[in-house]
Amino acid sequence: MLKSEAYKKFKKFLFNGELRPGQMFSQRELCEIIGISIAPLRDALHEIQNEGLIELIPNRGVKIILVNDKFVIESFQIRKFLEVGALREIIKKKIPDVFIEIKQEMNDIKKSSEVCIDSQLLKRALEIDEFFHKNLISNLNNSLLLNLHEKVYDRVKLIKKNIRYTSERLVPAMNEHIKIIEDMNGGQKDNSILSLELHLRIAENNFLIGDQEL
């Protein structure tokens, strides 16, 4: 098995919640849990440590990073820099049609939420959420930027996994996204940027308040 496969498998277990923040494992335990051999695991762990998702503690093992206030604040600060920067660039050029479809899906989710908010709908909401934010970045066709945002977004995924995306947040979050898109399409450049900043601040605050649950 290659390092890149070990890397992907480790992340899958991390985002599935099978490896939880703050937990400590020996490399041997990790091999068993994930079902991979030690050499590719070791290579992958070095890269994942560079991304700040684990700590390698000599003679003890692997500690999954704790999702605490510092982790949330640092992640959201960078996320804001990259996404707000990207939105400014997108507005300077022209608005790509892809956001129209995203807005349609968000309105569909809102409509479905009037009937029942179940885990299926929450999953759809999380997916369109991720798709929207990653689209802001991928629109710029900058592979290094995409790579850095991916790393920051992995942290956001870890935060979301460990602090619930509650049903009360579903409709407001969709409305915030729709507002960003509408301001953008309506040529309200400054409003659109303020809307994105506000959306990220609300999300961050929700996660900070949720921190006690951990």
User: Interacting stretch for a copy of itself, rule CB under 8 A, among 69-77, 109-117, 128-136, 166-174?
Assistant: 69-77
Number of residues that bind a copy of itself (CB under 8 A): 28
43 touches a copy of itself (CB under 8 A): yes
Q: Which two tokens stand for residue 141?
A: 């066709």
The residue (of 84 and 202) whose beta carbon lies closer to a copy of itself is 84
Label each residue of 138-188 as H, E or C. HCCCCHHHHHHHHHHHHHHHHHHHHCCCCHHHHHHHHHHHHHHHHHHHCCC
The residue (of 143 and 212) whose beta carbon lies closer to a copy of itself is 143
* Near a copy of itself in 137-156, by CB under 8 A: 140, 142-145, 147-148, 151-152, 155
The helix/strand/coil state of 87 is helix
The helix/strand/coil state of 72 is helix
Pairwise CA distance, residues 10 & 31, whole Å: 10
Q: Please, which residues bridge with residue 63 across strands? A: 24, 55
* Near a copy of itself in 155-194, by CB under 8 A: 155
Question: Is the CB of residue 197 less than 8 Å from the CB of residue 81?
Answer: no
How many helical (H) and strand (E) elements, i.e. helices and strands, does the chain have? Answer: 9, 3
Work out how close the CB of 65 gets to a copy of itself at its nearest, in angstroms, rounded to a whole number.
11
Q: Please, which residues bridge with residue 176 across strands? A: none
Question: Is the CB of residue 155 less than 8 Å from the CB of residue 53?
Answer: yes
The residue (of 170 and 207) whose beta carbon lies closer to a copy of itself is 207
User: Interacting stretch for a copy of itself, rule CB under 8 A, among 22-30, 67-75, 113-121, 172-180?
Assistant: 67-75
* Near a copy of itself in 79-118, by CB under 8 A: 80-82, 84-86, 89
The residue (of 72 and 174) whose beta carbon lies closer to a copy of itself is 72
Footprint of a copy of itself on this chain (CB under 8 A)? 3, 43, 46-47, 50, 52, 73-75, 77-78, 80-82, 84-86, 89, 140, 142-145, 147-148, 151-152, 155
